[in-house]
Amino acid sequence: MGKTIIGEETFPKIIEQYNSGGKTAAYDYLRSEYGIKHPYFVINRIKECGKYLYDADTDHFSGIDTSVADGVFMDLDELCGTTAVAAVRQPDPASDSRPVAMEKLVHELISDRLLTLSRYITLDSSTRTILIDQTSLSADGYQVVTH
């Protein structure tokens, strides 16, 4: 027997069983209709989904939590009645981002230059030697000058 998946579309039926017959009736309903071995976890999912209100004192579900739905969607009056103007933040003169941007640019330029040089030059720190591919350097228009 395969795994039974209970989606949110079946929650109202389960809640109806829970409210009319109690926890035991809902558990029996889940076992008989869906073959669920551990119905506690299904009820727990319903409580935690946030869509339905559960009153622990009366041990009943009191329906759909409309505050969740109202918080997500705007009604037509809110949508059409107000004009939203995006507030443009003026840069704070005390926090000048130019030095940070310049530092980032310098790092990018240096890394590009080092990447270019790594095609021609190899440093071997174990033998303390520098290997230079002079033929590739010359072919690409560079000169090697030693002093």
Q: Does residue 108 form part of some domain?
A: yes
Give a yes or no: residue 90 inside a domain: no
User: Could you tell me the residue range of the domain that residue 103 belongs to?
Assistant: 98-139
CB 75 within 8 A of CB 83: no
Q: Is position 119 within any domain?
A: yes
Domains in the chain: how many in total? 2
Structure tokens at 138: 């010359």
In a domain, 77, yes or no: no
pLDDT tens digits for range 111-131? 888 888 888 889 888 999 988
In a domain, 92, yes or no: no
Q: Does 3 map to a domain?
A: no
Q: End-to-end CA distance of the chain, in Å?
A: 82
Q: Which pLDDT tens digit goes with each residue over 60-107?
A: 887 665 555 555 666 667 777 655 555 556 656 566 678 888 898 998
What's the maximum distance between 2 C-alpha atoms anywhere in the chain?
96
Domain for residue 82, yes or no?
no
Question: 64 and 14, same structural domain?
Answer: yes
Give tens-digit pLDDT for 8-23: 888 889 989 999 998 9
Tokens of 54: 């559960």
**Residues 64 and 112 grouped into a single domain:** no
